[in-house]
Amino acid sequence: MNADAGRLVERALDAGDGVLRLQPTWVPRSFLVPGGRLRLAPSDLYALGAHRGGIDERWLGSTTPADNEGAPPDEGLSYVVGPDGERFTLRDAVAAAGPRLLGQRLAAAYGGWTVFAKFFDNRGPIPHHLHQRAHHAAQVGRAPKPEAYYFPPQLNAVPHGFPLTFFGLEPGTSPADVRRCLERWDDGDNGILDLSRAYRLRPGTGWLVQAGILHAPGTLVTYEPQWASDVAAMFQSMADDRPVPRRLLVKDVPPERHHDLDYLVGLIDWEATTDPCFKAHHYLEPVPLTPPAEGAEDRWVVYGRVEGKPLLAARELTLRPGAEVVLRDGAASCAVAVQGRGTLGRLAVEAPLVIRFGEMTADEFFITEPAAREGVRIRSTGAEPLVLLRYFGPEAIDGVPDIGVR
């Protein structure tokens, strides 16, 4: 942004009473096949070119660029659209007016918006992989990436062919077992899934996955609040009958460690990955807020602790036709509509049926901390319920449940 960045941000904030409208941010993956359920027009799934891969991710409220080969520098960054159509990145807005958007406490503690969410939609299962923990990510100048999954029913009418996710490794699995899998990388399927177990995925539920845990997501569309990082290491050599390039195992590993199998095996958080009570410690069912407002239901869909802190948290708000509520979350959030229409403050909101690549929508918003404290009035004006998903910054909102609390 130029020198009048602050003025542009303030104009946009004034126009939305502290709520910013965001443009859809599409991200391709060259090694995956899109599932076609993100409401992006089918003719636009390869809008960035077949060489870049199909678009199977939409990033929400992102200040983090995507780590994709050949990507432009702003791929993955969310853009704010002002009242006269002016565009600037949410990252620039946070840099220009961080406390005004995030609140003094979050801006001071974390220095920015250090989380984002995405819709992820793949036609087939993806490889068993992990996201590096802090000390490993720091060795390549990156941040760790804990993440959470919620499976929105509105985007999962079609489950595709493998609605199961492999999580972790069977208790008793040893580092030597995984090392042997890595040794067989070029022999076809290296057999790492033989060491894991799959869990059936159900729309309307979710999982919390800390950094260092191996997981191979299945084919449901996921809403994924996560730490603002794109760090990863693939441990599976064949997925969905397609070879996985070994470079995806070591892309976020120091060059001198690329062939150090003991180092690579050490990326795994062994205690968490082989937890015999894995589901009890990671599975999420919605937790309603009480008491519910008339005609409205607000539920925690992402919650729990990462390194002992509530770093990832999200809620799902459902308003029946004609209902309205004043949200006073007290913390900044990014909201996206997955069903219905209505108003959010003075801005119109509508979940689209079909989106053309590059088209502006009325379904994604950044609610600033001052607006959230004062209260944002939301109305459902359509013939079906208005459903909004919104995620919050780390340690920003009170009352985040622990896993296992119903």
Residue 406 has pLDDT above 90, yes or no: no
pLDDT in tens, 123-150: 999 999 999 999 999 999 999 999 999 9
Picking from 284, 311, 330, the residue at the C-terminal end of a domain is: 284
Q: Check if the beta carbon of residue 226 is closer than 8 Å to that of residue 147.
A: yes
Phi/psi class of residue 64: alpha, beta or left (left: φ > 0; alpha: ψ in -120 to 50)? beta
Task: Give yes or no: residues 276 and 299 share one domain.
Answer: no
pLDDT in tens, 185-230: 999 999 999 999 999 999 999 999 999 999 999 999 999 999 999 8
Q: How far apart are CA 342 and CA 387, in angstroms?
A: 10
The Cα-based distances of 88 to 8, 75, 95, 132 in angstroms read: 9, 13, 12, 31
Residue 88 has pLDDT above 60, yes or no: yes
Task: Give yes or no: residues 166 and 28 share one domain.
Answer: yes
| Average confidence score pLDDT of the chain | 95
Higher confidence at residue 3 or residue 266?
Answer: 266
Task: Give yes or no: residues 277 and 303 share one domain.
Answer: no
What angle (nearest 5°) sits at the alpha carbon of residue 77, between those of residues 300 and 137?
Answer: 75
pLDDT at res. 293: 78
Number of domains in the chain: 2
Domain assignment of residue 398, yes or no: no
Q: What are phi and psi of 166, to 5 degrees?
A: -80, 125
Q: Check if the beta carbon of residue 5 is closer than 8 Å to that of residue 86.
A: no
Task: Give yes or no: residues 269 and 299 share one domain.
Answer: no
Q: What is the mean pLDDT of residues 241-270?
A: 97
Picking from 284, 305, 326, the residue at the C-terminal end of a domain is: 284
pLDDT at res. 3: 54
Q: What is the mean pLDDT of residues 150-165?
A: 97
Task: Give yes or no: residues 213 and 255 share one domain.
Answer: yes
Range of the domain at 305: 287-392
pLDDT in tens, 34-81: 999 999 999 999 999 999 999 999 999 999 999 888 899 999 999 999
pLDDT in tens, 260-314: 999 999 999 999 999 999 999 999 999 999 777 789 999 999 999 999 999 999 9
Q: How far apart are CA 206 and CA 318, in angstroms?
A: 18
Predicted structure pTM score: 0.95
Per-residue confidence band for 343, with pLDDT thresholds at 50, 70 and 90: very high
pLDDT at res. 162: 95
Picking from 224, 258, 284, the residue at the C-terminal end of a domain is: 284
- Number of neighbours of residue 165 by Cβ within 10 angstroms: 24
CATH classification of the domain holding 48: 2.60.120.10
Residue 1 has pLDDT above 60, yes or no: no
